[in-house]
Amino acid sequence: MYNKAKDLEKVALGIAAMFGLYWMYSIVISPLLPFPDNIKGVTGLAVLYVAGLGLFFLSTKNISKQPFSLRIKSKVSFRTILLCFLLHCTAFMVLNILSIIISLFGGVSASTESDPLTFTMAFMLLVFNPVIEELVFRHLFATRLMRYGERFYILTSAYCFAILHGVSIGLTHIVYTFIMGLIWAYLTVKSGSMLLAVIMHSLSNLFNSVIIQLLMEFSVTALGIYSLLIMALGITGLILFIKNRKKIVLDDSPGFMNREAAKGFFTNRGIFAYTVLTLVFMVLKVVLNR
């Protein structure tokens, strides 16, 4: 017998264990190790995607898995893909607005990585992260939770993916990656695979990180023009989404999200524990970096 609350709890606790282990290593243990940064980085990946992912599988081993593309899927139209791309620009626009607001109040919130772009960083952004992160948050989540509804899966996937970025990058990126997570989970639902999500994830990192870092090194003027272009595309995406939102069909009914999908979600013990854990490590990271 399926149990929605229990399965959500196991998935959330699995992700909490996976990233909690990694944060403990990267924030507390790694700075104390007398090894080069590249060795620490490789070790961190092993901690996250070998030991940590092992904990996720252990936590969710009793959940009955099922393919999430059992029913016949219609081909995702080019128009839908284009709108999803424009909404990536919308998300980046929102991130920049939040960053500006925070800076006006004396805070610091960079919207992009400030480290010089290297081949390794580009590979991580364009290949490794899109494939691995979509495998975990879109594919593995779908095989365990899609049976409880497409909207419920999209919300869970996006939330669990977004909140961890509060630790790794900063609070403003929670909003940004939540919007991204919604888009990628939606594409996973509609296509029946994670391939489109991987491609969109990679394109997002290309346009919203790699190109920006290259322009920062090349020309401030070019960066400004590019930012205005992204903002224009973002506004276009937002307008088109509002105009077409009622045409979105999930769980055989119109609308992107509803109360039923969120019912019991934020009061779930696993989600609550995962949220508290991320907040603890956000604070711990700030304290230890002082």
Inter-residue contact 141 to 274 (CB < 8 Å): no
Band of pLDDT at residue 290, cut at 50, 70 and 90: low
pLDDT at 86 > cutoff 80? yes
Q: How do the domains of the chain map onto residue ranges?
A: 1-64+285-290, 74-257
Band of pLDDT at residue 85, cut at 50, 70 and 90: very high
What pLDDT does 95 receive? Answer: 93
The structure tokens listed for 81 are: 């893909």
DSSP string, 27-72: IIIGGGS-S-HHHHHHHHHHIIIIIIHHHHHHHTTTSPP--S--SP
pLDDT at 45 > cutoff 70? yes
What pLDDT does 112 receive? Answer: 42
pLDDT digits (tens, 9 = 90+) for 201-237: 999 999 999 999 999 888 899 999 999 999 999 999 9
The structure tokens listed for 226 are: 């590019």
| In the block, residue with structure tokens 């491609």 | 199
Q: Which residues pair with 250 in a beta bridge?
A: 253
Mean pLDDT of the chain: 92
pLDDT at 77 > cutoff 50? yes
Average pLDDT over residues 172-198: 95
